[in-house]
Amino acid sequence: SYVLTQPPSVSVAPGQTATITCGGNKIGREGVNWYQQKPGQAPVLVVYDDNDRPSGIPERFSGSNSDNTATLTINRVEAGDEADYFCQVWDGRSDLGVFGTGTRVSVL
């Protein structure tokens, strides 16, 4: 099955840029989605189809996807961005959803 690998943790100072990667074989061919999950809460979609944002998600959140790596970028990081972030693709060959391993973003 398709495997998506993320770094376990990323630390960033307030006002700086957080970059979270999601590695997968030829992931650039897939549409990648990103979810933010704060402690004790359900995940929230923050980016879909590589770089589209649902309504209500700040422009500080953006995504890119190429070759074997997709990236979620959070500009001007705020304390409220501290959360776990998961990438996700739809494996069209097997018709199933696949989540990445997750990255905990800590704001210093």
Partner 1 sequence: QLQLQESGPGLVKPSETLSLTCDVSGDSISTGSHYWGWIRQPPGKGLEWIGSMHYSGTTYYNPSLKSRLSISLDTSKNQLSLKLSSVTAADTAVYYCARHAQSWGYYYMDVWGKGTTVTVSS
Sequence letter at residue 31: G
CA distance 88 to 27: 10
Nearer Cβ to partner 1, position 62 or 88? 88
Nearer Cβ to partner 1, position 19 or 90? 90
Q: Torsion-angle region of residue 76: left (phi > 0), alpha (psi -120 to 50) or beta?
A: left
Contacts (CB under 8 A) with partner 1, residues 33-92: 33, 35, 37, 41-45, 48-49, 52, 54, 86, 88-90, 92
The residues, ordered by sequence, that sit 6+ positions from 91 with a Cβ below 8 Å of its Cβ are: 1, 2, 97, 98
Contacts (CB under 8 A) with partner 1, residues 1-30: 1, 30
Q: Which of 63, 72, 100, 107 binds partner 1 (CB under 8 A)?
A: 100
Nearer Cβ to partner 1, position 17 or 38? 38
Tell whether residue 97 is a contact of partner 1 (CB under 8 A): yes
